[in-house]
Structure 1
Amino acid sequence: MVAFAEFKSKRVVVTGCSSGIGLATASALVDLGADVIGMSRRAPDVGLAEFHALDLTSVESIESAATSVDGEIDALFNCAGAPPTVPSVELVKVNFLGTRLLTEHLVERMSAGGAIANVSSSVACGWRTRLGQIRDFVETRSFEDGVAWYEENEHAVGHGYPFSKEALNVWTLQQSTTLIARGVRMNSTSPGAVQTPLMEVSEKVFPPELLAATEYPSGRRSGVEEQVQPLLFLNSARASYINGADIAVDGGYWASRSAEGAGSLW
């Protein structure tokens, strides 16, 4: 049996398809025979069925990309992200608000059997400790309302990178309970330290000891291919009864923090 052969001829959307996990996911799906609709700021050198420019900080760009997709889609891989070195409010837009808005548009093109996989992060492991604040943010009605909420509360909730990923986790949980009534599943993965261009940016600004701590206890970073397989699994028919789950793909980082009674390093 060919691994994930069920993606052949399926119409799938991959955001962040020009780099890192998104590029590796799009490439794997193309190799599996899927009709891959890629979305990112720039087009990758991959055999996509379609490409639509996408800037997740812009409502206009999000709506343009979403409306450019014709017909039904079978799966959505939300892989787009931004390095933690950009302004916090921009991280909130890319990692949560823009991803939410795009998904709200695209999920209307999914029928029963559809699936969505969101790429979160191991830095979001402390979301349970401030669930009330995160719910308030997640329940903002629009992109603009979300931006205003974060700008007003940034001093209380902190840096936009972990907070936006925590919001993505909570939103995934909430949406999974609603979408399943239509036969659409939503799950997420939480990568740990991954060797991607985003990591290369982080290496220039964060202390080596902080980045090294995210590699505990495995003692290494993952390759992007190691992140792709769990994403493919979650959006495949093999995961047909998995809904509202977050898979830690972090070499045991979250397990070690939990065992120690600690939260995220952030």
Structure 2
Amino acid sequence: MSDVLGYKGKRVIVSGCFSGMGEATAKMLVDLGAEVHGFDFKESAVPMASFTQIDLRDPATIEAAVAKVGGKVDALFNCAGLPGGGGFPPMDVMKVNFLGTRHLTEQVVPLMGDKGAIVSIASTGGLGWSRRIPTHMQLMMTKGFQGGLEWCEANMDQVSEGYAFSKEAVILWTQFMGAQLIKKGIRINCSLPSPTQTPMMKTFHETSGKEVVDAAAEPLGRYTTPEEQAGPLVLINSDLASVVNGIVMPVDGGFMGGLATGQVDISKMMGGQKQGA
């Protein structure tokens, strides 16, 4: 296979490599010749250069894992996440989906040189971000894991069940940091997956309702696979996307376009949380 994506010999970190999109991403990167270092709460079966167990709710484990990898890191894939809707405590969801993800990224950035790349998985469930930018900017201004945690604990009315707000935060953080990290030659982007057949789907069906989730799978008419979501993540962190920065990339089979042009029935989604990943 030709190395048009430029991963051969690159050192990359994949958080959330145990299952779903993260596992598919790690497998793809191994196949492309990257030196892959995986982080997850559960041990991964992917044959990577190393695996380290972490808990994104615990900043000490994040710091230890990054220190263990050491050296130069070329790319970071933030694929770990928890569903919301009451399946997990709201603050656990917030810690894993945003606070821990941000802390991990902040630990990895000093190991990156020019042409470093970061991508995170957000969700169509975070589409409400534009309606509360001032609130999210308060969170963006907090320092470190603890600072963010204290803000969230003081604003539980905003955090709510955790999922939508955490994904909104990832989207705004991506855009906010894009304008800053690029000055160091580092790019940061995020994706918005439509419903994907991962282990999380059972929780989404139980908490949001299958009809609501199915509505977010239009106009494609089916759930995507983890591999279909991994491909765009790998592409956006590759050498081919060298000036793609600060974007929120729908990977949704046309959902966003259908929504904007009135071809997706939004009324079917109004009864539950719009959680797309």
Per the shorter chain, which TM-score range?
Answer: over 0.9
- 1:192-203 mapped onto 2 (5 Å cutoff): 192-203=194-205
Residue equivalent to 1:232: 234
Alignment size in residue pairs: 266
What stretches of structure 1 move > 6 A for 4+ residues in a row? 261-264
- 1:1-266 mapped onto 2 (5 Å cutoff): 2=2, 4-84=4-84, 85-260=87-262, 265=270, 266=273
Residue 192 of structure 1 contacts residue 253 of structure 1 at CA under 8 Å; is this kept in 2?
yes
Other structure's SS at 1:136 match? helix
Q: Distance in 2 between matches of 1:124 and 1:91?
A: 13
Judge which range, 13-22 or 144-153, deviates more.
144-153
Q: Distance in 2 between matches of 1:124 and 1:256?
A: 17
Judge which range, 154-163 or 26-35, deviates more.
154-163
TM-score (norm 1): 0.94
Query: CA RMSD of the aligned region, Å?
Result: 1.9
Gaps of 5+ in 1: none
Residue 159 of structure 2 contacts residue 166 of structure 2 at CA under 8 Å; is this kept in 1?
no
Other structure's SS at 1:96 match? helix
Deviations 1:91-119 (A, max 9, x none): 11001100001100101000001101111
Other structure's SS at 1:254 match? helix
Other structure's SS at 2:208 match? coil
Q: Distance in 2 between matches of 1:186 and 1:119?
A: 11
Q: Distance in 2 between matches of 1:205 and 1:122?
A: 16
Identity of counterpart residues, as a percentage? Answer: 41
TM-score (norm 2): 0.91
Distance 1:156 1:111, change over 3 A: closer
Other structure's SS at 1:82 match? coil
Residue 89 of structure 1 contacts residue 160 of structure 1 at CA under 8 Å; is this kept in 2?
yes
Q: Distance in 1 between matches of 2:132 and 2:255?
A: 20
The structural deviation recorded for 1:157 is: 4.7
The structural deviation recorded for 1:81 is: 0.6
